[in-house]
Structure 1
Amino acid sequence: MYPVKISNIISTASLLLSVSFNLSASNTFEQPLWQLQQLDQPESVAADPDNQWLYVSNINGAPTELNGKGYISRVNKQGKQFSQHWLTGLDAPKGLAINNGKLYVADMQTLHVINLSTGIVQQRHKLENAVMLNDITVGSDDTVYVSDMLGGGIYQLKNNQLSMWIEPEKLPHPNGLLWEKNQLLIASWGLDMQADFTTTIPGSLYQVNPSDKVLQPLATGYQLGNLDGIVSHKNALYVSDWISGELYQLKDNQRQKVLSSNPGLADIGGEGDILYAPMMMDNALMAWQLP
């Protein structure tokens, strides 16, 4: 862990004063469109924009264990055609992102780059100082961003070089990432992490302008929970809380709890009007209709 001053991360608690809160669960999420069992601690899901496939990372062991048992599953977007062990031999794979026919996989201290047409690992970028690489997103200029939840900080893959971009001292436990409207959104896990991964200070949702790398908390996402995945749909953001299993909608200066599920609601993904939710502790993937 890295020592951190809270004043380095949040500008002011007065962000909450102008935000309206509605924590009533929405009936939009009463029944999933479909669900898929048979997975092994699914952590992340990515939809390929160029074909019918979803890709799901399976940790298949302790979250920090280098056991070679981790794998990637592939399933079509209707939850029917399923290849459980599409790619094997990973350690504890977590975040996924797809760009230009390549699947990027965050796997402990390694970022894998996989050719989707062949299923072959084309590149492996090793980071000796990383602890647990977690989520991935790709910017509009094809720059890849990777979070390190336990080691802290954000890495950047640019011009085939993977290097630290935001220092751990500024961002000790980043988790979910999303490139949105030329900004990087970062869902943090929180501060003062305990042995069971709970925190005494809830995580917040930040936006970062890549030109200055200043962390700006979003008022609706301030101290929201132990945050994992981020999905953008229409004029709303959806953010998952891994510890509580709750899904929040951030929209129009309000935040609303729209789904209460079991703990382990991990790195959600989305495409069109569908939200895909890996349920890590239930070994399942669920699809939900977004409003």
Structure 2
Amino acid sequence: MIKTTLKFSLLALSAGILAACGPQKTEEVTDDLAIVEDVKTPTLTLLWETPETLITNESVLFDAATGTIYVANIDGDPVGKDGKGSISIIGKDGSIVNQNWITGLNAPKGMGIANGMLYVTDIDELVEIDIATAKINKKYKVDGAQFLNDTDTYDGKVYFTDMNTGKVHLLDGGVVSTISEGNESINGIAVSSDGTIYGLDASGMKQWNADGTTTILNSTVTGGDGLVILGDGNFIASRWQGEIWFATAEGETLMLDTKAAESNTADIGYNAADQVIYVPTFFKNKVAAYKLDY
């Protein structure tokens, strides 16, 4: 947990008595009162919820460039190629702007935007959608893929994970490659403004180093789903079961626990300008928006 540090200091009191023949001098006494360094506990406050029409919504993506909020709806078996999956667009007030912006997908999950395209993982394919025309432009088949999940983009490149195989893949220049393996149950992925990759897997929240190795930053928030980089070493991580954590390398704070309500917290989205987190609730079929205060 984020802890409040108490610092106490006391300057010793002293007095000296000079020789009897001389004047008496009393040294100045200084009291250094207890200084309390108050560290604020991060909180989430519910703002709104959408109507319950976003069937099995797994992921939310906020596009800072346009203010558009995309929602990926599985609407069926998470690994079933049934064509029921879709992408919806919702408003900042929780309204449904376009329920069926893109249809005909199978089990869409993580999303990312690069070069005017929305990229969506769909079981064993990475789907490229032209945002301007709202049409599927291309599908990239990923060899050996089983459960493609989260997605992020950086410098025109698309990074995405496969939870079943433990791999991190990269789409660069139209070519898919594997850049990391052996990441048990890897799901959430996020790339910082300097190109550093962060992820959530069974070991916790981790960082990829320049040599390809990884460093565990937080071993408490394991099996995470969505990952948001706040900056200054602060992150938001969701766990599908119904938890949202404020996490750092020094500790973590559980900000939201909806397990009792059986409301999931899947691949979250984030509006940095307004500090709003968008939470896909999966089986509850709605997105909930929370104001982040930290």
TM-score, normalised via structure 2 length: 0.80
C-alpha distance in 1, partners of 2:2/2:132? 45
- The structure, 1 or 2, with the larger RCO (C-alpha pairs under 8 Å, 6+ apart) is 1
Q: Letter of the 2:65 partner, please give it.
A: D
- 2:237 corresponds in structure 1 to 239
- 2:38 corresponds in structure 1 to none
- 1:14 corresponds in structure 2 to none
* Structure number with bigger Rg: 2
C-alpha distance in 2, partners of 1:21/1:131? 37
- 1:269 corresponds in structure 2 to 269
- 1:213 corresponds in structure 2 to 212
2:183 matches 1:186: no
Q: Letter of the 2:114 partner, please give it.
A: N
2:36 matches 1:38: no
Q: Letter of the 1:212 partner, please give it.
A: D
C-alpha distance in 1, partners of 2:43/2:220? 25
Deviations 1:235-289 (A, max 9, x none): 421101112x111101472211011113521001101211111111211101111
Q: RMSD value over aligned CA atoms?
A: 1.8
- 1:98 corresponds in structure 2 to 113
1:147 equivalent among 161, 165, 168: 161
Change over 3 Å in CA distance of 1:117–1:258 after alignment to 2: same
C-alpha distance in 2, partners of 1:33/1:90? 30
Deviations 1:61-88 (A, max 9, x none): 1211111101111112222242111100
Tell whether the 8 Å contact from 1:47 to 1:98 is kept in structure 2 after alignment.
no
Q: Which runs of 5 or more residues in structure 2 are unaligned?
A: 4-40
2:188 equivalent among 173, 176, 179: 176
Q: Letter of the 1:242 partner, please give it.
A: W
Per-residue deviation at 1:164? Answer: 1.4
C-alpha distance in 2, partners of 1:250/1:28? 12
Per-residue deviation at 1:47? Answer: 1.0
- 1:13 corresponds in structure 2 to none
C-alpha distance in 2, partners of 1:103/1:217? 30
Tell whether the 8 Å contact from 2:42 to 2:253 is kept in structure 1 after alignment.
no
Q: Which runs of 5 or more residues in structure 1 are unaligned?
A: 1-19, 191-202
2:148 matches 1:133: yes
C-alpha distance in 1, partners of 2:68/2:278? 12
Between the two proteins, what is the percent identity of the paired residues? Answer: 31
Q: Letter of the 2:284 partner, please give it.
A: D
Per-residue deviation at 1:142? Answer: 1.8
Corresponding residue SS for 2:66: coil
Tell whether the 8 Å contact from 2:277 to 2:292 is kept in structure 1 after alignment.
yes
Per-residue deviation at 1:232? Answer: 2.2
2:51 matches 1:53: no
C-alpha distance in 2, partners of 1:185/1:131? 21
Tell whether the 8 Å contact from 2:80 to 2:107 is kept in structure 1 after alignment.
yes
C-alpha distance in 1, partners of 2:231/2:177? 33
1:87 equivalent among 102, 108, 118: 102
**How many aligned positions are there?**
248
Consecutive aligned runs of 4 or more in structure 1 exceeding 4 Å deviation = none
Tell whether the 8 Å contact from 2:200 to 2:227 is kept in structure 1 after alignment.
yes
Corresponding residue SS for 1:156: strand
- Flag the structure with higher helix content: 1
C-alpha distance in 2, partners of 1:56/1:77? 12
C-alpha distance in 1, partners of 2:68/2:2? 36
Per-residue deviation at 1:182? Answer: 2.4
TM-score, normalised via structure 1 length: 0.80
Change over 3 Å in CA distance of 1:252–1:27 after alignment to 2: closer
C-alpha distance in 2, partners of 1:223/1:32? 25
Q: Letter of the 1:124 partner, please give it.
A: K
C-alpha distance in 2, partners of 1:40/1:127? 26
